[in-house]
Structures are given as C-alpha cells and as structure tokens.
Amino acid sequence: MWSDNRIPVQSTPAHDHPIKRHHSARYYAHRVKENLTTRVSKLICAIFLFLLFLVGLLTFILWLSLRPHRPRFHIEEFSIPALAHAGGFENAEIIYNLTTRNVNQNIGVYYDSMQMTVFYEDQSIGGKPLLFPFYQEPKNTTVIAGPLGGASLTVTNQRWEQFLAARGRGEVVFRVEVTSIIRFKISTWNSKHHRMHANCPAGVGPDGLILPIYRDKRCPVYFS
C-alpha cells in the first residue's frame, strides 16, 4: 500500500505463531533418569521409615514385657490389745502382719534392707528393722509379721491418753511405713538400688483390733 506521500506502509501480521522447539533425545533421557532417581529415593525413604517404625514397636513391646513393677504391700493384721484396757499402758504392744508381693512375671526383687516405722498423727511412736536381706522370686509373696514393743515402742503416758481419747471416738488411726532398699533382677542383670516406701494406714477399734475397712488394704508405694 502507498500513503499520500507515496511511502510504503508495511502491514503487521494479525498473529505471531510460536516457534516450535524440539528437545533432543539426551534431554528426555535426563528427565527419565531424574524421575527414576526420585522414585528410588522415595522408596528407600519409605523402607527406612517402615524399618524404623518396626524397630520402635518391637522396642516398646520389649520394654513393656521387661518393665519392672513395684512390689505390692498389703496390711493383713494390726492390733494393740492393750487398748481394750484403760490401764494397759505398761503392756502396750503392737501386733502386725504385712505382706509384700512380687507381681512381676520374670523379674525378681532383692531386698537389701527393710525398716518399719509406726506413726501416730505423723509422729513416730516406734519402729525396728524387718527380716534380713533376701531375694524374692517372681510371682511370690512374703509375710512380714511380728510384735513391736518394749524399747522399740516409745509410747509416753501422754500419747497413751491420746490413744484412749481417739478410742472413745470409735477408732485410733496409725500409719505403718515400710522403707526398703531394693534391686530388680532381670535374667543375669541387676538394676541399681532403689529406695522404696510403702505407707499403710491402719485403724483399730475400741477392742484394739484392726477395723475391717483397713484389713487387706493395698498400701501406696513410691520411690525416693
């Protein structure tokens, strides 16, 4: 076309067509290699995570089966016969009967020492060592019984009057604490020493005998 000044005017195409580029075989081979590498990496990660989960699960199951349970203490009997008599202070004596149960299936317990202390209103009124060092087999119960009196029972006349006043109200409540140094035995391996405490509430009635609500009661146990 020509303008009025006879200068040729170039026409612009309505649409520019993109230039098609063809990738080389090397490019496609590289892409396939990258894709395979990604898939292999994901597979390796999945296998690793699965094995890690499996090891963790087996470890947890093994820990549950070998985790030692603390011994269970029960108070079977506890009495102060002299309480049945107002003037029985001179013959005051505590008769006790406790049991300790090793509930573990395959774990034994070494008791290196054991001490019993009786408390009234959080004040010690006597105590003594119990048993001698011994080993308790799995699923086994040991009886701890005997009297506590004489020099081992330090009850003053004032304290005895408190017992009698509580007896008049229907019950006299004591606390028996058993302190032990124990170790757990798993096959040929022995654990470190643990200091264990069992606290057993024991209430007696006007006749000096343990009340039914306290008999065969499981004692709270904790380590320190």
* Integer Cα distance of 79 and 61 in angstroms: 45
Task: Give the range of the structural domain holding residue 55, as residue numbers without chain letter.
Answer: 24-67
In a domain, residue 9? The reply is no
Q: Are residues 63 and 162 in the same domain?
A: no
In a domain, residue 6? The reply is no
Q: Give residue-wise pLDDT tens across range 24-82.
A: 666 555 566 667 777 778 888 888 888 888 887 776 666 555 678 999 999 999 999 99
| CA separation, residue 67 to residues 54, 63, 64, 198 (Å) | 20, 6, 5, 20
Q: Are residues 63 and 123 in the same domain?
A: no
In a domain, residue 2? The reply is no
In a domain, residue 15? The reply is no
Cα angle: 121, vertex 125, 127; to 5 degrees: 125
Tokens of 138: 């799995």
pTM of the predicted model as reported, rounded to 2 decimal places:
0.71
Three-state secondary structure of 174-190: EEEEEEEEEEEEECCEE
